[in-house]
Structure 1
């Protein structure tokens, strides 16, 4: 399995060499006459200067100046400099595949890698400079991005989602028997789409394997899902002992477990087991949200559309309570003081990818423009930092401040006055910088 994974990386590397990209790198970049949204304030700064040196923000202020006359100077008059966007719930390896492609007999990790590399580039050019991948074999894609062979955001990888038999990430076909009975890995497990693990021992092995390969956090399925074949929405998955096994193994590596869960029973069991983050939570009640607020448990939420053309009728029907629930949970969780993060969760619907920025705007009924921008910058960055020493990148993200990593967007206009600006990155993001490197410039 490892050799197949490495071969996939080499295949993508070859494709990248045939179609290279050339980001604009400079020792120093000066943004002059910009107003700054720093990721935490409710207002913009007065016009000022921001100096980027290497991959960090070196100075901010009207008197800030480059150390070298060779610096690249960008006049930001009338524009806003803000932190790069962060999507807290992505599936980098599977957001470019339709269900039929995933199930095709000729599907391979090499094909998944090639499609994902193209999508990662498009994601960065939408202004998303960092993402948390919560299910899929994104390790090699991350290495290619980090080495500069592929354009894309910083990735906090979870590795394959870990699921019980018949759970949310049991992606076997109807004719594929259990590995425990047949001795054969399923097709989904062969390409590391997911891992099926039952009992404390198998869960420990699955978690430790993901950590061995570079996971910054662990994702397990704790309840039913809308895109999965075998599990009704109301079911609870993994016993308390199994869930504690995942938490024990992750905490031994000084990181955390996040769980896919919608309803109170599965969430309460996860909290008892020591889980720190809940993905979705659309069916939670007020008492459970209060418990999360009291214990400092994060709610990583989305704001999904009712249906898309790619969905089959069964999935549309299955997700109806989830869609209705999200309209209740977001405002209630905010009111109760739950720690909130945001992500898109596009999976097997590649046509949705171009709408990534627009999905932020779906939260406009519940948040002010300043709250929304904080949510998708400093707020999501705070969640990324839960990985502790397993965080793959040194430095602070989600803010524009001296010493922070230089992941920045120059926005045409004032997004606090017109939040819709961030919904059209092609038109309104004139400069995108990741790690001190300009990957998009209006001057190009």
Structure 2
């Protein structure tokens, strides 16, 4: 949730009123953007050379030079991502990055197979967070103000590793310059989850995500980009042609889906949650531009009006939706529109906010029960996301937010939502999918993203809130990143 105030407004507000867009942070973001442009060119050239077999990134090893021995998991109870119960008496074989075989009994594994005895624990798919901000999740404001840009990238990389160590093997990035970090993770240069990037969120002048200082006004349509836009955090578009251009720019950089801002946002003191940004024509232009590349648009929207306008324009996913009403919920169900929302239940789920931002937050918290109740009653396709920002204390609550869902769902439903359910949403990126293959399930042929948890989360969902203690094995793409099982 990005926001911005001018320097004058910052002086009149308390420290957290619009922390993500203080002039100092914008300066830091400009440095990130300049570095991204330079590094992106170098990384892109390097990737091209790698694809030709001329060079290999430092630290990256091909599967041929470092063959991964087959891994066989035994003595486990299986939650496969779709069932409401666990089952035992199985053996699972992983070869390279895929689940090769799931069989009953205790057959002899292939020669050279590494055996992993799970000790009767539960084996399940890796978790998926459908609303994350990779570059901004855990970087405190003082660090962003004072740190060297190299440190900022290293800090984001470290948080990506912590994300994976919490058991989230995949995230959908809903705004921010995450392309370079994604590339580094995919090439094995750093450790982190799979990233489905949106690139810059696209908004209107004065809309949620417009982080420009007032000194950048007036904006000239078709004029040069503001410093904010050059960072890749957000882009401004004020007519249908500009929306098409900005969407195509993100897709050119590798976006797997597009994020458009349809209304106001929580941490934006210059917006209210009931306001509208894009017209239906403008939204439709973005939806069509994404559809032309065989992917979809997710629209940030809280109010019924904003949600209904997005659906009328053809949007296939609504982000947040906490103020929706009965009629809007029925419309979403009828159209098969996805709802990607967050279980914000109290102040502990957000950094301190004041002024209009505080008013917006209280509206969201008050609407959380309604949005989940309506989603469940109407059988809306619902994804789990956290949208945690600017605090490593908050990002550590990523698994804890999953437990908030017990107010509306049973444990099996929660686990299904955060695995196979979220994977179904990710698959809507079609040919823009950066990771072809099945995620969120344990079945033959699926990508090997696996967790072994010390206990049964279908009986006790609180286990996911303490990953350091309870996650014994973390595997992503067939590679073990953690294994603390005895022996």
TM-score, normalising length from structure 1? 0.92
Q: Equivalent residues in 2 for 1:304-319 (5 A)?
A: 304-308=344-348, 310-314=351-355, 315-319=357-361
Return the match for 1:54 from 96, 99, 108: 96
Indicate the larger mover: 180-189 or 30-39: 180-189
Q: Equivalent residues in 2 for 1:381-392 (5 A)?
A: 381-392=423-434
List per-residue Cα deviations over 1:23-60 (Å, max 9, x = no partner): x9832111111110000001001232111111111111
SS in 1 for 2:406: coil
Work out the CA distance in 1 between the residues paired with 2:320 and 2:127: 20
Q: What is the Cα deviation at residue 188 of structure 1?
A: 2.2
SS in 1 for 2:128: strand
Return the match for 1:124 from 147, 164, 172: 164
With over 3 angstroms needed to count, the CA separation of the structure-2 counterparts of 1:441 and 1:175, relative to structure 1, is same
Work out the CA distance in 2 between the residues paired with 1:64 and 1:200: 61
Q: What is the Cα deviation at residue 305 of structure 1?
A: 4.4
List per-residue Cα deviations over 1:231-288 (Å, max 9, x = no partner): 2221011011111110110000010000100011001000010000000000000110
Assess if the C-alpha contact under 8 Å between 2:178 and 2:199 holds in 1: yes
Please state if 1:138 is matched with 2:178.
Answer: yes
Please state if 1:369 is matched with 2:425.
Answer: no
With over 3 angstroms needed to count, the CA separation of the structure-2 counterparts of 1:237 and 1:146, relative to structure 1, is same
Q: Equivalent residues in 2 for 1:11-410 (5 A)?
A: 26-63=68-105, 65=107, 68-99=110-141, 104=145, 110-180=150-220, 183-308=223-348, 310-314=351-355, 315-410=357-452
Q: What is the Cα deviation at residue 176 of structure 1?
A: 2.8
Q: What is the Cα deviation at residue 329 of structure 1?
A: 1.1
With over 3 angstroms needed to count, the CA separation of the structure-2 counterparts of 1:108 and 1:267, relative to structure 1, is farther
Assess if the C-alpha contact under 8 Å between 2:34 and 2:230 holds in 1: no
Q: What is the Cα deviation at residue 227 of structure 1?
A: 1.2
SS in 2 for 1:426: helix
Structure 1 residue aligned with 2:35? 4
Return the match for 1:433 from 466, 471, 475: 475
Q: What is the Cα deviation at residue 220 of structure 1?
A: 0.7
SS in 2 for 1:363: helix
Please state if 1:424 is matched with 2:455.
Answer: no
Q: What is the Cα deviation at residue 331 of structure 1?
A: 1.6
Assess if the C-alpha contact under 8 Å between 1:39 and 1:399 holds in 2: yes
With over 3 angstroms needed to count, the CA separation of the structure-2 counterparts of 1:251 and 1:107, relative to structure 1, is farther
With over 3 angstroms needed to count, the CA separation of the structure-2 counterparts of 1:192 and 1:25, relative to structure 1, is same
Assess if the C-alpha contact under 8 Å between 1:395 and 1:405 holds in 2: yes
Q: What is the Cα deviation at residue 191 of structure 1?
A: 1.4
With over 3 angstroms needed to count, the CA separation of the structure-2 counterparts of 1:109 and 1:287, relative to structure 1, is farther
Assess if the C-alpha contact under 8 Å between 1:168 and 1:223 holds in 2: yes
Work out the CA distance in 1 between the residues paired with 2:273 and 2:149: 29
Indicate the larger mover: 312-321 or 294-303: 312-321
Work out the CA distance in 2 between the residues paired with 1:182 and 1:26: 51
With over 3 angstroms needed to count, the CA separation of the structure-2 counterparts of 1:349 and 1:187, relative to structure 1, is farther
List per-residue Cα deviations over 1:91-122 (Å, max 9, x = no partner): 001112335655x3x67865542221110000
Work out the CA distance in 1 between the residues paired with 2:381 and 2:262: 20
RMSD: 2.5
With over 3 angstroms needed to count, the CA separation of the structure-2 counterparts of 1:302 and 1:7, relative to structure 1, is same
TM-score, normalising length from structure 2? 0.84
Work out the CA distance in 2 between the residues paired with 1:25 and 1:443: 23
Assess if the C-alpha contact under 8 Å between 1:124 and 1:152 holds in 2: yes
Any unmatched runs of 5+ in structure 1?
19-23
The aligned length equals: 435
Work out the CA distance in 1 between the residues paired with 2:227 and 2:352: 22
Work out the CA distance in 2 between the residues paired with 1:109 and 1:161: 22
SS in 1 for 2:330: helix
Structure 2 residue aligned with 1:21? none
With over 3 angstroms needed to count, the CA separation of the structure-2 counterparts of 1:90 and 1:391, relative to structure 1, is same
Assess if the C-alpha contact under 8 Å between 1:258 and 1:279 holds in 2: yes
Work out the CA distance in 1 between the residues paired with 2:58 and 2:98: 28
Work out the CA distance in 1 between the residues paired with 2:123 and 2:198: 31
Work out the CA distance in 2 between the residues paired with 1:206 and 1:174: 22
With over 3 angstroms needed to count, the CA separation of the structure-2 counterparts of 1:307 and 1:191, relative to structure 1, is same
List per-residue Cα deviations over 1:282-319 (Å, max 9, x = no partner): 00001100000001000001012432584232222321
